[in-house]
């Protein structure tokens, strides 16, 4: 165990002594693991895209279970809803002792109308409502031991595989929503693009994203250390992921694999040479799950909180906690719903 | 499988699903652990005990280092707290440890207020966390958490019972911090006495309603160990940083003429148990209890004190905003009142000053008049002198004219009258000189008064 001594306020190292002997500080890692397993995990994911792009299928493939019920093609008699309605479904899934409460928020009707102006508004409203709920809970005097977290941790945005560029609706949506939530864009039904077409398409999308100042997850500014930066750079070079989703299994070379069977071959979903589903799954679940939650909690939620508290002029340090005089005059007591 | 918090939450239509394959979110604990390793951990221990009871030695032994604490004197007028922060690292885990020692505890003649500095310190740490949490722009994940996570209370090994100071202090602290009582310098008590002593202490604590920290029993992996340990409280510890060779090993021990007390020997003392419980098994739980129980209690009390409530008298939920607005108005009104008061005071002071100045002016005027009069008087006196001088001058002129006339007459008459005439001339000359002298005297005088 190595010892560096500090004084209380300045954290510069003053002395370093090498001493041997077991203390057991490492065991705190195990304690943390046990605590996480005991507490479980909440994860809220939102899927946005036009109907027919395979959103529900993808979610089912990601979590290997029937999370969303696929909507069948609507008949002519069924009216397409005038506005985007959000539809959220929660499930509890467990793997190796780790319990997860997964909530999938679907957005049927997005981009389906003839006039799609302001189609992002219900989505933005929903996201902000979740932040508001959490903020209220946090400001209570008697707080719950664990505040239920319904904030959207990740929003998967489905781009149709046109092969050209980003469309205006894509740009508008991602610009607005990218400020308040972590967006992961994916190219849906990517089996209609050849590998070269796919690369070009991705390159053009990346250019468009940069040109419009859209920040998608993982954002460059939030990289903590060089290792993380290298890892995230690699990810940033390959977004948006070209994905194919399915829940049917077929036999390939004697193994049962998830795939789409066509006359000209079987597209293996989990094969990295065929499509990038595995990359998406690894990013979302296996490596950056905690990071998504952290970014939502530490950055997006804090931004919302700052804005909200400034709007209602709630500066607690002005009151009893410290004796500084007020700077502005009378308060504006409008409790308006904040919208972008 | 124990039900987890997630499954316990009442969900609207939350149904369990079965997975058809390996998804991979079971790696979440590892992801979390990796993040924490990057950030490092924080742990704060408060040691309360009399001077010389072995607090610093125990800390050194516990963390296997030398924290370089100096011996403190017994003559402190008041209890003070002395905190020091250290960065420890074991393999890849970094721990920021803060050890807070009480200096002068139990040394004063009058120990009534001994607990107060400790309570104040703990409250101050809660307060600064609360302030950070209530800030608008806050950075909680970077915040150096200085709240006390564990409090080791050192009981002196009298063998009889707890002192009243111990009871009073522990009673004041049990709702603010996790108290772990330890019996210090346990090598002065024999085994049987120790057993009785422990039972006595625990029964005293229970009968006085002191809530010490109980090791958690809800996680099965550690429940068994914790239950056993709960039965061994308070731990009888011996601290030592010196090494003595026992058999063919060097162990930490205290060497006496009658034998060697080995610190890490479980049959000699409970040090290993303390280390297990404090660090290896329950560090995370201690931190969690501090945050969810003690800190929340403090926060609730503080906010209620300030007048914030969750529900109205009619039991309708009151938003924090409304209460805040009400308080703000109050505050503004009071501010306005104080401003008015100050303004009035200012006006009054101005008036007073004005009247003072007016008086001074009048004084000055009076003196000026006086001086003027004096001046006029002097001037008149001088005029008088001048007049006299002029008179003398004119009389002198007349006499001179007469003398000259006489001289002229004597020149025209002849003979013997020359001598007489010369005598008369001399006499008149002398008289003239005397007059001239007098005139000079007067002139000189006027010249003097003129200058």
Determine phi and psi for B185, rounding to 5 degrees. 50, 50
B154-169 per-position pLDDT tens digit: 998 887 888 888 888 8
pLDDT (mean) for A8-27 = 48
Q: How far apart are CA B292 and CA B282, in angstroms?
A: 15
Ramachandran region of residue B106, left (φ > 0), alpha (ψ -120 to 50) or beta?
left
B413 has pLDDT over 80: no
Average pLDDT over residues B390-416: 86
Transcribe B146-192 into DSSP letters.
Answer: -S--EEEEEEP--SS---HHHHHHHHHHTTTS-EEEEESSGGGS-HH
Q: What is the mean pLDDT of residues A298-307?
A: 89
- Whether the Cβ atoms of residue A280 and residue A187 lie closer than 8 Å to each other: no
The answer on pLDDT for B373 being more than 90 is yes
Residue B17 and residue A285: Cβ atoms within 8 Å?
no
Start-end of H helices in A192-254: 195-211, 226-238
Residue A97 confidence (pLDDT) above 70: yes
Q: What is the pLDDT of residue A8?
A: 35
Cα atoms in the 13 Å half-sphere on the side-chain side of B273: 23
Query: Which pLDDT belongs to residue A243?
Result: 87
- For residue B389, the model assigns a pLDDT of 94
The per-residue pLDDT for B8 is 46
Q: Check pLDDT > 60 for residue A67.
A: yes
Edge-first strand order for the sheet with A41-48 is A241-242, A183-187, A154-159, A41-48, A98-106, A87-95, B15-17
- How crowded is the C-beta side of B315, counted as CA atoms within 13 Å? 0
- The chain B residue lying nearest A29, using CA atoms, is B33
Selected residue with higher pLDDT from A55 and B346 = B346
pLDDT band at residue B418 under the 50/70/90 scheme: low
Residues of chain B with Cβ-Cβ distance to A303 below 8 Å are: none
**Cβ neighbours of residue B174 closer than 8 Å, sequence gap 6 or more:** B210, B211, B212
Nearest-angstrom CA–CA distance, B425 and B411: 11
Average pLDDT value for chain A: 76
B386: CB partners within 8 A, 6+ apart: B446
- Greater pLDDT, B24 or B152: B152
pLDDT value for B354 = 94
Residue B268 parent element (H or E): none
A102-116, B190-204, B283-297: least confident range? A102-116
Tens of pLDDT, residue by residue over A114-164, are 877 888 888 899 999 999 889 888 888 788 888 888 899 999 999 988 888
Using the predicted structure, report yes or no on whether residue B347 has a pLDDT greater than 60. Answer: yes
Q: Is the pLDDT of residue A4 over 50?
A: no
Distance (Å, whole) CA A284 – CA B23: 11
**Residues paired with residue B150 on neighbouring β-strands, in sequence order:** B45
Give residue B440's pLDDT band: very low, low, confident or very high (50, 70, 90): low
Which of A63, A92, A319 faces B306 most closely, judged by CB atoms?
A319
pLDDT band at A69 (very low <50, low <70, confident <90, very high): low
Residue B369 has pLDDT above 90, yes or no: yes
User: Quick check: A14 pLDDT over 90?
Assistant: no
- pLDDT for the residue numbered B447: 52
B10: pLDDT strictly greater than 60:
no
What CA–CA distance (Å, rounded) separates B209 from B174?
A: 9
Average per-residue pLDDT in chain B?
82
Closest Cα in chain B, distance from residue A310 (Å): 7
Whether A19 sits inside 8 A of B66 (CB atoms) is: yes
Q: Is the CB of A225 inside 8 Å of chain B's CB atoms?
A: yes
Average pLDDT over residues A219-226: 73
DSSP annotation string for B427-449: HHHHHHHHHHHHHHHHHHHHHHH
Instruction: Report the 10 Å Cβ neighbour count for A96.
Output: 10
A256 touches chain B (CB under 8 A): no
How many Å lie between the alpha carbon of A270 and the closest alpha carbon of chain B? 12
**Chain B touched by A144 (CB under 8 Å):** no
Q: What is the Cα–Cα distance from A2 to A288, expressed in whole angstroms?
A: 31
| pLDDT value of position A313 | 66
The CA-CA-CA angle for residues B270, B271, B276, to 5°, reads 100
- Tell me if B88 and A1 make a contact (CB, 8 A cut-off): yes
Tokens of B231: 């039965």
Q: Quote the percentage of chain A above a pLDDT of 70.
A: 81
Evaluate the omega torsion of the peptide bond into residue A218 and state whether it is cis, within 30 degrees of 0. yes
The answer to whether residue B194 scores a pLDDT higher than 90 is no
Q: What is the pLDDT of residues B304-318, one digit of tens each?
A: 887 776 655 444 445
Closest CA to B106 of B40, B44, B55: B55
In eight-state DSSP terms, residue B311 is B
CB of B23 closer than 8 Å to CB of A95: yes
**Lowest mean per-residue pLDDT among A32-46, A65-79, A118-132, A162-176:** A65-79
Which one of A330-334, B175-179, B321-325 scores highest in mean pLDDT?
B175-179
Whole-number Cα distances in Å, A69 to A57, A66, A72, B53? 9, 7, 9, 68
Would the pLDDT of A99 be above 90? no
Q: How many CB atoms lie within 10 A of CB B147?
A: 22
Q: CB atoms < 10 A from the CB of A252, how many? A: 15
Whether residue A317 is predicted with pLDDT greater than 80 in this model: the reply is: no
Is the pLDDT reported for residue A180 higher than 50? yes
Contact B28 A289 (CB under 8 A): yes
Indicate whether B444 pLDDT > 70: no
What's the pLDDT tens digit per position in B221-276?
A: 778 888 888 888 888 888 888 888 878 888 888 888 888 888 888 888 888 888 88
**Minimal Cα–Cα distance from B295 to chain A, Å?**
11
Is the pLDDT score of A24 beyond 80? no
- A213: tokens are 């100042």
Per-residue pLDDT band for B415 (boundaries 50, 70, 90) equals: low
**What is the band of B397 on the pLDDT scale with cuts at 50, 70, 90?**
very high
Q: Tell me whether residue A99 is exposed, middle or buried, using C-beta atoms within 10 angstroms of its C-beta: 0 to 12, 13 to 18, 19 or more.
A: buried
Q: What is the mean pLDDT of residues B77-98?
A: 83
Residues of A in contact with B223 (CB under 8 A): none
Tell me what pLDDT residue A21 has: 63
- Asked if A95's CB is within 8 angstroms of B25's CB, the reply is yes
Q: Is A28 on the interface with B (CB under 8 A)?
A: yes
Q: How does A298-337 read in b/e, with b if 16+ C-beta sit within 10 Å?
A: eebbbebbeebbeebbbbbebbebeeeeeeeeebeeeeee
Q: Do B90 and A26 touch (CB under 8 A)?
A: yes
Q: Flag whether pLDDT at B391 surpasses 90.
A: yes
- Between CA B299 and CA B297 the distance in angstroms is 5
Dihedral of the CA atoms B434, B435, B440, B443 (nearest 10)? 160
Q: How far is B274 from chain A (nearest CA, A)?
A: 11
Q: What is the DSSP letter of B104?
A: S
In the structure, what pLDDT confidence band is assigned to residue A78 with cuts at 50, 70 and 90? very low
B16 and A92 in contact (C-beta within 8 Å)?
yes
pLDDT at B289 over 70: yes
DSSP-based three-state secondary structure for A203: helix
Report residue A71 as tokens.
């909507």
Q: Which of A210-224, A320-334, B56-70 has the lowest mean pLDDT?
A: A320-334
Q: Residues in chain A, how many?
A: 340
Give the DSSP per-residue string, B349-411: HHHHHHHHHHHHHHHHHHHHHHHHHHHHHHHHHHHHHHHHHHHHHHHHHHHHHHHHHHHHHHH
Rounded mean pLDDT, B325-332: 80
**What's the rounded mean pLDDT across residues B378-403?**
93
Position A77 confidence tier, pLDDT thresholds 50, 70, 90? very low
Supply the pLDDT for residue A81. 59
Interface confidence: ipTM more than 0.85: no
- What pLDDT does A82 receive? 61
d(CA A66, CA A64): 7
Could you tell me which residue, B21 or A11, shows the higher pLDDT? B21
Helix, strand, coil share of chain B (percent; to 5): 55, 15, 30
Of A11 and B424, the structure prediction assigns the larger pLDDT to B424
- Residue B86: pLDDT over 80: yes
Looking at residue A314, the DSSP 8-state letter turns out to be -
Q: Report the relative pairing of strands A183-187 and A241-242 from DSSP bridges.
A: parallel
């Amino acid at each position: 165990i190595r010892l560096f001594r500090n004084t209380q306020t300045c954290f510069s190292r003053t002395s370093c002594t090498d001493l041997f002997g077991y203390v057991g500080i490492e065991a705190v890692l195990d304690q943390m693991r046990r605590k996480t397993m005991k507490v479980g995990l909440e994860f809220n994911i939102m899927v946005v895209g036009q109907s027919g792009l395979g959103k529900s299928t993808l979610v089912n493939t990601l979590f290997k279970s029937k999370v969303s019920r696929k909507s069948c093609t609507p008949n002519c008699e069924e009216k397409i809803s005038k506005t985007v309605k959000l539809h959220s479904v929660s499930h509890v899934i467990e793997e190796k002792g780790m319990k997860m409460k997964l909530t999938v928020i679907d957005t049927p009707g997005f981009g389906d109308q003839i006039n799609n102006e302001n189609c992002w508004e219900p989505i933005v409203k929903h996201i902000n409502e979740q932040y508001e709920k959490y903020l209220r809970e946090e400001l209570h005097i008697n707080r719950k031991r664990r505040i239920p977290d319904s904030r959207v941790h990740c929003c998967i945005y489905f781009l149709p595989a046109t092969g050209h560029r980003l469309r205006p609706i894509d740009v508008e949506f991602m610009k607005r929503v990218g400020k308040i939530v972590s967006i992961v864009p994916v190219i849906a039904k990517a089996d209609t693009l050849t590998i070269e077409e796919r690369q070009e398409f991705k390159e053009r999308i990346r250019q468009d994203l940069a040109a419009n100042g859209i920040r998608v997850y993982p954002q460059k500014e939030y990289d903590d250390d060089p290792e993380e930066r290298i890892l995230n750079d690699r990810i940033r070079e390959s977004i948006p992921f070209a994905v194919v989703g399915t829940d049917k299994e077929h036999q390939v070379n004697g193994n049962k694999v998830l795939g789409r069977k066509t006359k000209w071959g079987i597209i293996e979903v989990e094969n990295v040479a065929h499509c990038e589903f595995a990359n998406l799954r690894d990013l979302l679940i296996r490596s950056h799950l905690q990071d998504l939650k952290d970014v939502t909690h530490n950055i997006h939620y804090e931004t919302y909180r700052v804005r909200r508290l400034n709007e209602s002029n709630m500066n607690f340090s002005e009151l009893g906690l410290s004796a500084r005089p007020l700077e502005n005059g009378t308060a504006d007591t409008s409790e308006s719903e904040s919208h972008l | 499988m124990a039900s987890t918090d997630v499954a316990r939450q009442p969900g609207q239509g939350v149904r369990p699903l079965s997975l058809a394959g390996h998804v991979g979110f079971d790696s979440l604990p590892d992801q979390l652990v990796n993040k924490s390793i990057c950030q490092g951990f924080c742990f704060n221990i408060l040691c309360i005990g009399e001077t010389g009871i072995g607090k610093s030695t125990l800390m050194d032994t516990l963390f296997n280092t030398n924290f370089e604490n100096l011996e403190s004197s017994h003559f402190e007028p008041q209890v003070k707290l002395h905190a020091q922060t250290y960065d420890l690292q074991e393999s890849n885990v970094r721990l920021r440890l803060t050890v807070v020692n009480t200096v002068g505890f139990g040394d004063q003649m009058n120990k009534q207020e001994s607990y107060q500095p400790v309570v104040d310190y703990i409250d101050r740490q809660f307060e600064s966390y609360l302030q950070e949490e209530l800030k608008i722009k806050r950075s909680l994940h970077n915040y150096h958490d200085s709240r006390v996570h564990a409090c080791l209370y050192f009981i002196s090994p009298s063998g009889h019972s707890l002192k009243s100071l111990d009871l009073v202090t522990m009673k004041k602290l049990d709702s603010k911090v996790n108290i772990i009582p330890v019996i210090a310098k346990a090598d002065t008590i024999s085994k049987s006495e120790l057993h009785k002593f422990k039972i006595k202490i625990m029964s005293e604590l229970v009968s006085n309603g002191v809530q010490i920290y109980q090791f958690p029993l809800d996680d099965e992996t550690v429940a068994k160990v914790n239950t056993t340990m709960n039965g061994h409280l308070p731990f009888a510890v011996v601290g030592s940083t010196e090494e003595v060779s026992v058999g063919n090993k060097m162990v930490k021990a205290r060497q006496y003429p009658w034998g060697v007390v080995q610190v890490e020997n479980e049959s000699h003392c409970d040090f290993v148990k303390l280390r297990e419980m404090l660090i290896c098994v329950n560090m995370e739980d201690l931190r969690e209890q501090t945050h969810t129980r003690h800190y929340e209690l403090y926060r609730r009390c503080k906010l209620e004190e300030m007048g914030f409530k969750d529900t109205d008298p009619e039991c309708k939920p009151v938003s924090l905003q409304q209460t805040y607005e009400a308080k703000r108005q109050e505050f503004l009104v009071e501010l306005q009142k104080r401003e008015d008061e100050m303004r009035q005071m200012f006006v009054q002071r101005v008036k007073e000053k004005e009247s003072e100045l007016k008086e001074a002016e009048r004084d000055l005027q009076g003196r000026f008049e006086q001086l003027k009069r004096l001046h006029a008087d002097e001037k008149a006196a001088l005029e008088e002198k001048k007049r006299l001088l002029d008179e003398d001058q004119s009389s002198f002129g007349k006499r001179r004219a007469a003398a000259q006339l006489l001289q002229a007459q004597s020149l025209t008459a002849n003979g013997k009258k020359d001598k007489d005439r010369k005598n008369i001339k001399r006499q008149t000359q002398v008289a003239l000189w005397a007059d001239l002298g007098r005139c000079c005297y007067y002139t000189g005088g006027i010249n003097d008064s003129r200058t």
